[in-house]
Structure 1
Amino acid sequence: MKNLKRVVLAAALLVVAPASAETLKLAHFVAPTHTLTEAIVTPLTEGIAPSGLVIETYPAGKLGAGPADQYVRVVQGVADIVWGLPGYTSSQFPLAMLTELPGAQPDGMTGADFLWNGYDAGLLEREFPRTEPLALWTAEPAVLILRDHEVREPQDLRGLKIRVSSSITGEIVQALGAIPVQMAATDVYNAMQTGLVDGVITGSSAISDFRFDEVLSHVTLGIPLGNQSFYVVANAARVGSLPDSEREALRAASGRELSRHAEAAWNAKGESAIAALRERDQGIVTELTPDEMSAFEAILLPLTQEKVAELGAEEAFATMRGGQ
């Protein structure tokens, strides 16, 4: 009789026990303390948990070093999900990188909405082959971080070596008379420390995320330098292979809302980083006056229209801007 009860109990457990949960490998190239964790990794992992789907995170290049190779890793199946920057492979993402043009985003519009407007309209699909975007968003407005110079006028930049992360930012730097140097964010600290570069254009959140506060002397706010774009994408075939309930859970936990959450986290980190610099020394942060900003705008804002026209992207640009 006892054996019969064991058999019945075991049969009951087989009926109610969930099928073995799928596990997705998420790879990125920064430390677990980076803003990415609170912005994307944690909410995405928690959002899918009720379905049984699991995400295992591999930070700091554990599935392969080199930020520029992130997209290749997910397409080849080395990782199921990756975080990356369109700017590292600029030629693949002409529309996703429109956010980096000076003044591209209308006042009050998030970069997440700018990018998802384009994706939902079918404009960005060809830029993300064999993947499914889970999040598309931008960093806070880019700032100019300097090793040992103070910049208030365009001529202050002439001849300086400025690290950039994309071809568009490189064109901005050249328009200002400086010399663009492209490298991964993870290499900038040493480059600033040794004087290989004089400065970097990036979001202010990078000041704390990459410890640039240890190697800078000035930060200039107010130059229209655009907003760096980001993506989190999953291997499309891997998503398609998931059980229906897990695939639906992944899609429900991602998309425009997750992207807005990520952008808010980036903005908060950037504001905190600037506040910390001001607390340390008010002289570190240079905030341009309206007249000083106008001198930069006169050079950079025409660049946006020229680039959009060069790409033949007038209609796409208007759609991403919400018809503006």
Structure 2
Amino acid sequence: MNLPRSSVSKLIQDLEAHLGTKLVERTTRSVTMTNEGVAYHERALHLLADLDEMDSTVKGARATPKGRLRVDIGSVLANRILIPAFDDFRTRYPEIELLLGVNDRAADLIGEGIDCVIRGGALADSSLKARRLCELDYVVCAAPAYLEGRSPPRHPDEIAGHQVVSYFSATSGKRFPLRFVRGAERLEVQPVDGISVNESTAHLTALLSGLGIGQSFGYLARPHFADGTLVELLTDWKPDHHVLHLVYPADRFPNPRLRAFTEWATQLFAACDARRPEGHSHSSSTLMDNLSTPGNFSPGR
């Protein structure tokens, strides 16, 4: 704001006097925020963002969305779907500054100032709103190097004798079971031996490295089936689909930036929806072809 340092110090001191608490700790070498200062700063950022959002809506910024948008997304979804297509988003919305948080952890949207997250699974938090993006199917697979000299399982129960590449909960450390569905039959297999990870890109890497059998998303595994680096197993046992949502706080009116990103992401992820008749064949290049086909995307919707 081009203010002298002395003026800023006086303003902070006046604010501290008004609040009756210290917001910063000062030494001769540094200035750091107190816990109260950090909390006050975060709330102030939210208020300023709401004000900017209100002004933008009134000014008609819907036609030209602009400003900063923070989106969190899982690693494999970011690297295999969103980032390869990001140049298309940037071309359509050059005035939106996208901050992409790439991780597989649960995010605190309000506390961390996140506009939306793209996550899969059941939605248990009633304070959030969600837009369904797609459904991803699972396949059971392993690398040829792992299967060499071993009998591939013909039934889910036989997986108990194999090394399994599975996921574990970052909060509890518990390994998630492998779930199987065939008609009315439903089975769960609890992994005993093998490696367990809590990040999706690492999970695929472990499968490709021949560390065991696992369940991977179909859109990730099928290119590797084609080049022979992975082999599909138990083709008649298919787990339930993994539903993917774009989630944002329920008490926040979607700003023009979020609306633009939501519509774009909906079109992008629809191309790998397992419910589509041709959904199994989509790769990153096909996703981009779908976005660039005239009539497939309407940025004003």
TM-score (norm 2): 0.49
> Structure 1 or 2: larger helix share?
1
Higher relative contact order (CA 8 A, sep 6+): 1
Report which of the two structures shows the higher radius of gyration computed on alpha carbons: 2
More strand by share: 2
**TM-score normalised by L of structure 1:** 0.46
